[in-house]
Structure 1
Amino acid sequence: MVTIYHNPRCKKSRETLTILEEKNEDIEIIKYLDTPPNEKELLKLIELLGIKPLELIRKNETIWKENYKGKNLSDDQVIKAMVAHPKLMERPIVVKNNKAVIGRPPENVTSIL
């Protein structure tokens, strides 16, 4: 089973989903803007990705620029920002067998299949 944290309006997310479908993967699609991860789930994703919370932030989003940019935020504060504003999360995130990647570029997903 592969899980994709997906935004259907995002081209990279759609391209990543297409790769998963072409590989005949059993896919669980989580539209994370409709069903955002809670703090615990987000911490697990960050751990699987092997990154710092700030590396999962889409820094060009207006929400980030207007509310958080330039502030010295703790990891916990960054996670709380993503929980409050899931649009800040980089996308798509694909998880399989306790491994995760960000599908940017979409071909990154093949590294965990």
Structure 2
Amino acid sequence: MAVTLWHNPRCSKSRQTLALLQDRGIAVTVRDYQKQPPSMIELQDVLRKLGQPASTLLRWKDSDLPKNASENDILAALAANPKLIERPAVITDTAARIGRPPEAVLEIV
């Protein structure tokens, strides 16, 4: 099973999630999503795998979007400014989880 971590090395939760996966011997592809931002299609795919609305991936405290922003507006903001993406995110072929807390990702690996 392919496992990808959308990672921010400056984020403690992201580092903890990476360590948790590595400690369990899980092979993970690490993607610094700020250097390699996901496309709109990738964002939509992750949301489908999360089974959640776009607002789930948005770091609201870092955003100036209104609370009633549309799905499309949120996706456009995430694609344009990857710093707004909630982290870390672990993605497999069939599911995704936000690593808050890091142990949440173990449900899908």
Q: Distance in 1 between matches of 2:93 and 2:42?
A: 15
Q: Report percent identity of matched pairs.
A: 39
Q: How far is 1:24 from its partner?
A: 0.7
Give the TM-score of the pair, scaled to structure 1.
0.91
Q: Distance in 2 between matches of 1:97 and 1:27?
A: 13
Q: Does 1:8 align with 2:9?
A: yes
Query: Which stretch shifts more, 90-99 or 38-47?
Result: 90-99
Q: Does 1:99 align with 2:95?
A: yes
Q: In structure 1, what is the equivalent of residue 22 of structure 2?
A: 21
Q: How far is 1:84 from its partner?
A: 0.6
Q: Distance in 2 between matches of 1:27 and 1:56?
A: 20
Q: In structure 2, what is the equivalent of residue 32 of structure 1?
A: 33
Deviations 1:1-54 (A, max 9, x none): 210000000000000000110111111011000000010010001110110001
Q: Does 1:69 align with 2:66?
A: yes
Q: Distance in 2 between matches of 1:97 and 1:69?
A: 32
Q: How far is 1:105 from its partner?
A: 0.3
**Which runs of no fewer than 5 residues in structure 1 stay unpaired?**
none
Q: Distance in 2 between matches of 1:97 and 1:46?
A: 13
Q: Distance in 1 between matches of 2:48 and 2:38?
A: 14
Q: Distance in 1 between matches of 2:92 and 2:77?
A: 25
Deviations 1:81-102 (A, max 9, x none): 0001111110000012311100
SS at match of 1:20: helix
State the 4+ residue runs in structure 1 displaced beyond 3 angstroms: none
Deviations 1:59-99 (A, max 9, x none): 111xx13xx235x3221111000001111110000012311
